Amino acid sequence: MSTRAQSSPLPRLRRFEPGDVRRRQLIEATVDTIADVGFAAATITQIAGRAGVSVGLVAFYFGDKDGLLEATLRHLAAQLRAALVAALATGSAPRERIAAVIDANLGASQFDRRISTVWLAFWGQVPVVARFARVQRVYERRMISNLTAGFRGLVPGAAAGRLAEATAAMIDGLWLRATLSTAASDGGQARDMVNGFVDAQIALVRLALMTQGGREDAQPPGSTGITTAAGGAVGGCGIGL
């Protein structure tokens, strides 16, 4: 019997073609241009000039302005997805999974003025540009799915979905509020607020289950909505625990 080890082939590394570099240059130039002059004022000529390429290359790689803008939005979404994957790798417990989603979506990079200005500009276009709306729906579904998976390990299924929706809304709302503020933020306070909200809701659901016989549709005593970590109720939201 031979004891000679068989050598394994080396993994093939992806070669970055000149086209990859050009696409990345144009996407980065799009981010810079929108951050500087706004979505409506950004032109293909400005973007191409900033990237140091001809206007014709934009058409060659992306088709038109909307194609370039969609590619830029997908690029930002991919960066956010990579941050989430990295955060999820630090822990697999249900509460750690929820914290990872919060950390990724409210991480310091998402509060960088250059990036947040572009996200805000794209959000304003989602209701009227179908291709942007598709990217937004994927982003939203991914966040809800990851949050729901975490909550299912901590509360009954019916409550898990509702808490995922509420947590996602709080993440987006706090990000929007901070982005529109003139005060600088690294997201630390927002992350603390959402994590406090999550812990309070999990505790309330468990208390309701104990006091109401373990029913999955149990409501926190005296509650008409979701109670925040600070003790205030988000009334009229139609979300029961």
Cα 85–Cα 202–Cα 107 angle in degrees, nearest 5? 30
Of the candidates 92, 103, 91, 88, the one whose C-alpha atom is nearest the C-alpha of residue 192 is 103
Q: How confident is the model at residue 8 (pLDDT cuts 50, 70, 90)?
A: very low
CB atoms within 10 A of CB 11: 6
Return the biggest CA–CA distance within the chain. 75
- Report the number of distinct structural domains present in the chain: 1
pLDDT tens digits for 10-21? 444 444 456 788
- 105 found inside a domain: yes
pLDDT digits (tens, 9 = 90+) for 184-236: 888 999 999 999 999 999 999 999 888 876 555 555 444 434 443 333 333 33
pLDDT at residue 79 is higher than 70: yes
The answer to whether residue 241 sits within a structural domain is no
With a cut of 60, say whether residue 9 has pLDDT above it: no
- The answer to whether residue 44 is domain-embedded is no
Per-residue confidence (pLDDT) for residue 175, from 0 to 100: 95
With a cut of 70, say whether residue 78 has pLDDT above it. yes
Q: Per the domain annotation, does 6 fall within a domain?
A: no
Segments forming the whole domain that contains residue 158:
92-234
Residues 108-132: tens digit of each pLDDT:
999 998 899 899 989 889 999 999 9
State whether residue 75 is helix, strand or coil. helix
Look at residue 9 and tell me if it is in a domain.
no
Residue 41 lies in a domain: no
Q: Averaged over 44-71, what is the pLDDT?
A: 92
Does residue 79 lie in a domain region?
A: no
Q: 12: Cβ–Cβ under 8 A, 6 or more apart, which residues?
A: none
CATH number (domain holding residue 181): 1.10.357.10
Within-domain flag for 19: no
Residue 226: strand pairing partners: 234
Mean pLDDT of the chain: 83
Residues 215-225: tens digit of each pLDDT:
555 554 444 34
Distance CA 169, CA 198 (A): 12
